[in-house]
Structure 1
Amino acid sequence: MIRFYLLIIVSLISLLAFLKAPEYHLWLLAIVVTEFPLIFFGISLVLTLTGFWAHKYQMAGTVLGVVTMLIFLSPIVRAWWVAKDLKKNMEQAFNADPNFDSSFSFFRLFNVTKAVSYKTFDYVKYNDTTLKLDFYPAQSADGDFLLNRPCVIVVHGGSWAGGDSRQLPELNSYLALKGYNVAAINYRMAPKWQTPAPVEDIQAAIAYLKTHADELHIDTKNFVLLGRSAGAQIATLAAYTINEPSLKGVIDFYGPEDMVWGYSIPSNPLIMDSRKVMEDYIGGTYSKVPQKYFACSPLEFVSKKSPPTLVIHGSNDVLVSPEHSRRLNLKLQQNGIKHYWLKLPWATHGFDYNLNGPGGQLSTFAVATFLKTVCPQTP
């Protein structure tokens, strides 16, 4: 009897691989379910096998267990399906052949990302605060530092009011080992500071990295912005507005790109009060400061001169609707900008927490491929 009840609980958890999480803690659980699927598959397998000793509901429990195991494996199968055409589609989108191997491997689910050491620098001083960045130097797989390499500037998420440069550092290490310098920055956050302060901070970071390019071994002609969630809004807004010729591309992980539409369709309040978050960042409700909502909507500034863009979004995102990425994708198409929209049907907000999970593998492959095409001189 206990086995059957446990299987019911586990089967309900498995539904997070298909359905959107209805509550904050279930959203966090959904990340684990979809990006660490083998853990839950193993739990289901153990409970199913104990049916040999069960007396009540043996057959029902076994059937339920088998179905549950298949559901937990579904992100892996769906990732394999998306991976089939990912390399070809990205090659077509950016007119380049990066010569990478497979975008997804079952065996990489067991990998552990190697950490790269970083140094922290003050990159800008204002009257009321000093901002820091964490710098991961480009290096070979053997640990040798590489000279004159492109630099990826990473902008963290956190609803414009939280998070820091240490958020999800695994990708920083991965890219450093792929031969890219990485600068993960801190920026001025709401409610004390409001838009466009973070965009100004990105400009300050670029200026600092150019000034110290010799000692940090940075190719000053090749910068790429990468942002997650709120950080993606900041990164894309900067990419489309600051007119920086050294900026070769921008990578958008599940960012809110249409702030006007986003305010009109708030997220589930059991997960996040999105309107309050936006009001703190922008400086008021839409009815009070409508022009500021337009002014911080990245898609409003897409033009034929915008840099190449990589958009990555999970269809089960419960914090930032994939509709934002659809709207940005359309605007990029209309302006003839080289871009690619990687859609992950099972993934939720923050899926890239595990670089070696189903969504993490595909997004990491897409990022590496994008960097290879927009900064072609990097081996």
Structure 2
Amino acid sequence: MALPGLGATALVLLPPVSWGAWQYGLLALEFALFLALPAALGLLLALLSRRPRPRDTHPRVTLALAGLNAALLAAALAPAVSLWSTARAEGTPLRLSEYTAGPATSADRAPLTLEYAEADGEPLVLDVWEPVEPADAPLPVVVNIHGGADDLPQSLLPRWDTWLADGGDSETGATGTDPQRRVVFDVDYRFFPDDDWAAPVRDVRCALGWVHENAAEYGGDPERIAVSGQSAGALLALLATYSSDHPPSCDTGVPEVAAVVAWYPGTDVTADAADLPWRLLRSPVNDELTELEERMMGGSLNEIPQEYAAMSPVRLVGPNTPPTLLLTAGHDLFLSPEDNRRMAAALDKAGVPHHHVELPWTEHMYDLNWGGFASQITRHAIDGFLREHH
């Protein structure tokens, strides 16, 4: 009974030996409550075996196993307890019944897929997610930008797209009794070509222009556009909206946006950046990421520091920066929470409306677990933030 918890604890706490090990660690942490069941049963069995037995019984062994399972039980409950505290601070009503809702990798319907531009001979596409219930007036628009450490497709976690479109109804995680429906455009882009890190920024700005020109055709209000992104997509969302330094990769004008939602973004890659987590520094995954970074940047930080500064949203914050919601994973393999804390401080200093939600014992890409407590808190934060600023 102790073995599942031991394996999961190692995956969560130790440096991952591969991408696959990190993915298993992500699942172990985000579904940690399920690991409480074998630990509780193991503790019960160990305590029962302490009753008088024949002389070949080893009481110290059973006592040790009881202690081990008790520790694993506490470890399995710790993420939920810490997130429960965060939920209280955020005013989020958590529902244990939603914890078994499964992953966010599927939706109850399919989107409309359209080509919004072409760049270097590559078609650029986006998915349009409209609410199930039609609206009498134009709806606010959300442009979402997926993340990933590879060239992944748009609408990576479509359950979030339909939730945003439908306004958080009772089946998808309601945050209020008055749903705010939206039109969602989930955007694909060129994934950081070698020596051209700004190519996806230009693509996102192109997509924003296309959405502004075409949103009304799908029931959206072109003057009420918010941008959301996860991981690499969050970085692109910040870069594409905080600065006009990068012209769009198509012939269009780029609108000002009403708000930005950035899920676990990296905001500083300069020499002044916060230290990376020790788990990443001791993992072979870091070598792959460093190679990818230097390839897309066209050199190392020491060789072209100005390019790294240009790719650091914390350096772009100013009084005209759009309202920003930062969502930080507290146990992120790839990013120290201090990174987003510094970003929040920069926004505060510049007088930019913002909100920072730090989710303890939560891993990068936690939103894969649709019913997880971190995802429930996130839905509440996004809905409230967009209602205020969108």
Contact 1:21-1:30 within 8 A present in 2 as well: no
CA distance in structure 2 between the aligned counterparts of 1:81 and 1:132, rounded to whole angstroms: 40
Aligned runs of 1:171-190 on 2, under 5 Å?
Answer: 171-178=160-167, 179-190=181-192
Alpha-carbon deviations, 1:207-255, whole Å to 9, x = none? Answer: 2222222321111111111111111111101111139554011111111
The match for 1:47 is: 42
- 1:33–1:187 distance in 2 versus 1, CA, 3 Å: same
Q: Say if 2:51 is the partner of 1:61.
A: no
The match for 1:92 is: none
Q: Normalising by the residue count of structure 2, what TM-score does the alignment of the two structures yield?
A: 0.82
Q: Once superposed, what is the RMSD of the aligned Cα atoms?
A: 2.5
Contact 1:224-1:247 within 8 A present in 2 as well: yes
- Return the letter of the residue paired with 2:77: L
Alpha-carbon deviations, 1:18-73, whole Å to 9, x = none? Answer: x4644444432332222212321223234334444695533332232233122101
The number of equivalent residue pairs is 350
Alpha-carbon offset, residue 105 of structure 1 = 2.2
Aligned runs of 1:205-354 on 2, under 5 Å?
Answer: 205-242=207-244, 246-261=256-271, 265=275, 267-268=280-281, 269-273=283-287, 274-354=289-369
Selected match of 1:134 from 127, 130, 149: 127
Selected match of 1:38 from 28, 33, 36: 33
Q: Normalising by the residue count of structure 1, what TM-score does the alignment of the two structures yield?
A: 0.84
Structure 2 unaligned residues grouped into runs of 5+: 51-56, 168-180, 246-253
Larger displacement relative to structure 2 (336-345 or 282-291): 282-291
Alpha-carbon deviations, 1:307-352, whole Å to 9, x = none? Answer: 1111111221111222321221111011011111111121121111
CA distance in structure 2 between the aligned counterparts of 1:61 and 1:326, rounded to whole angstroms: 40
The match for 2:172 is: none
Alpha-carbon offset, residue 135 of structure 1 = 1.2
Aligned runs of 1:84-99 on 2, under 5 Å?
Answer: 84-87=88-91
Alpha-carbon offset, residue 265 of structure 1 = 5.0
Structure 1 unaligned residues grouped into runs of 5+: 1-5, 88-101
Alpha-carbon deviations, 1:148-207, whole Å to 9, x = none? Answer: 111111111123x43221322221121112112111111111334722211211121122
Larger displacement relative to structure 2 (113-122 or 337-346): 113-122
Larger displacement relative to structure 2 (274-283 or 48-57): 48-57
The match for 2:100 is: 110
Rg comparison, structure with higher value = 2
Alpha-carbon offset, residue 14 of structure 1 = 3.4
CA distance in structure 2 between the aligned counterparts of 1:48 and 1:27, rounded to whole angstroms: 28
